[in-house]
Structure 1
Amino acid sequence: MLVLGIESSCDETGVALVDAGAQPLPRLLSHALYSQIDMHQAYGGVVPELASRDHIRRVLPLTRETMKEAQRSLAEVDVVAYTRGPGLAGALLVGAGVACSLAAALGKPVMGVHHLEGHLLSPFLSADPPEFPFVALLVSGGHTQLMRVDGVGSYELLGETIDDAAGEAFDKSAKLMGLPYPGGPHLSKLAQQGDGAAFRLPRPLLHSGNLDFSFAGLKTAVLTQAKKLGDELEARKADLAASTQAAIVEVLVKKSLGAMAQTGLKRLVVAGGVGANALLRSQLNAACRQRGIRVHYPELHLCTDNGAMIAMAAGMRLQAGLVKLEVLQRGYTFDVKPRWSLSALQPELAAAP
């Protein structure tokens, strides 16, 4: 069973083809990805209207590229999956519209997929896939969450951010330091040249006794420190970047370990763009090794938004029997969910209405 997946939630257009009939897991046959980073750099952040228009330009050429790489034809596709939410409304509508139109033309069923479920299940695309159950640290864009995952579609929220997410803390702090878009990767690269102990920045909710996160106060502290440095900022920028990164990573590591202790589980999955951070991986690996915990990550090139994770999530739902093809074949009307809680996701909600 071939599943074509389309991702268009923000500033990456991704298309992938997965064989959901492969065992024990769906197998990625091919994927193609286009990033809009260069286009948005001039504006210092994502411009939603420009993002939507660029998705329109890219999605069909990427689909052709994906099918060519897999040496398959569109007629062989059994299900077309797309990101239904969360994300930018206009960008989501592009992917949904193309997916539903393509499925209608092919006479094949269509499936809406939760973007965060895609990230959550993306480590199953790696050479070292996890096994259920596990704790997941989701650190993607505006989302920072800890989830207990007992199986596909079985998610329990353990903790989440009450304001800024970790990715936002990276990006906003980088902007305060005058670093270019996208700020997070630039801050992490600059931090390699600095001293993470140079500035004692706050670790919000580090000792809160729960598994919630808060990074807005850290951003404010970075702004205050940058103003204090004044003309010295340029010379101390690497130290400030390293100190900011150290604060974010310490919170993520401690909360993740707290979730492992609370659940008693011995597998941790880290997914989302921040999951590519080298310091986070290093510290988590070391801490979990001491506690006999296995840590799983997506492949580095699949940490950011991509079509492979959407096709994989759809394929795993089909394999688990959470979605029936006959349920999907109810028509080609669609909606999108710019705000959509993963903890509220029910198996039937994966199907487009």
Structure 2
Amino acid sequence: MTSLPGRLRLVVLYGGASAEHDVSRVTAAHVLAAADRDRYTLVPIGIGKDGVWHHNEFAAGALDAGDELPDRLDIEGPVVDPVATVSGAPEDRTVVLPLLHGPHGEDGTVQGMLELFSVPYVGCGVLSSSVCMDKAMAKEVAARAGIPQCAWITMRDGVDDPAEIGEKAIAELGLPVFVKPANMGSSVGVSRAADADALQRAIASALQYDDVVVIEEAVTGREIEVGVLGNTHPETTLPGEIKPGSDFYDYKDKYLTGAAELMIPAPLSDEAVAQARELAADVFTALRCSGLARVDFFYEESGPARGWLLNEVNTIPGFTPASMYPKMWEATGLAYPALIDRLVDLALERHDRRAAFSTDH
């Protein structure tokens, strides 16, 4: 796993101990296939659901030989030490690309380890990763920053009574509502509840994935997403729109049935496009994001007609060529391989800037 002269050593982490494990394996296969092999020595590291790290020698060999990778990488190969893997040899310049969706990867845990060992990595830092992963906390921070969003309440297992929270949700938010585990992505554990009994079942389902649950009002609005790229000066994509194939854009829609319709760019007026892009950059800055994020909105044109409402921020969005984030950048003029290069450059830029901070007092 030693870099060739002149190349960056790019460690790609995938898998992980999360319900989004399989999604991550798909993302990694496409990123590795698209990365510039003249610029990078690619090191695919699969993390099992048991947390054990493996060097995928099969994938590494296929990349060296110019062979095609499967659409989904396995978790295989010799067990490796995480610290030695991310640190590399002293002569190597290593950058880590975490493609770990959900908890134990997107929530600041891996980012914290990389900070401890002073390793450059792609994406948001510890604070923003943690806050954005926790939908309840992200809503609190966004509200303080004046970002418009739909109404919600939060429930914490062992602190709040589900029956009381259910009554409060119906009284304050009405029905139907959406129920989500606070720390999960890819719509895992998300349910739509149209009556009191369904709400209790939805809360129980969400509690299988996290001990904090977010209950949101149902918004009759268009689902619009904007990609953001940058550190202190974020750039944004043309917005994309999702028309779900079912009641909402759920896991099956995203990864199994393909029933959702994706429109890039979204059919919006020039004014609405400008508003969405500006608000996405504001959200990115308010939540202290860096590197990349996908900002998801509801666009409410009828009823209360509140316009743009923040739904959530995804700091490690899906990254296959068919995923919204890279497709929106492609529509904005940045191709998939160039997007990977830009993310690596941003990781090095942020790391070098932070490494210059004084440790004296």
Q: Same fold, TM exceeding 0.5?
A: no
- Structure (1 or 2) with the greater helix fraction: 1
By relative contact order (CA 8 Å, sep 6+), the higher-ranking structure is: 1
How high is the TM-score relative to the length of structure 1? 0.32
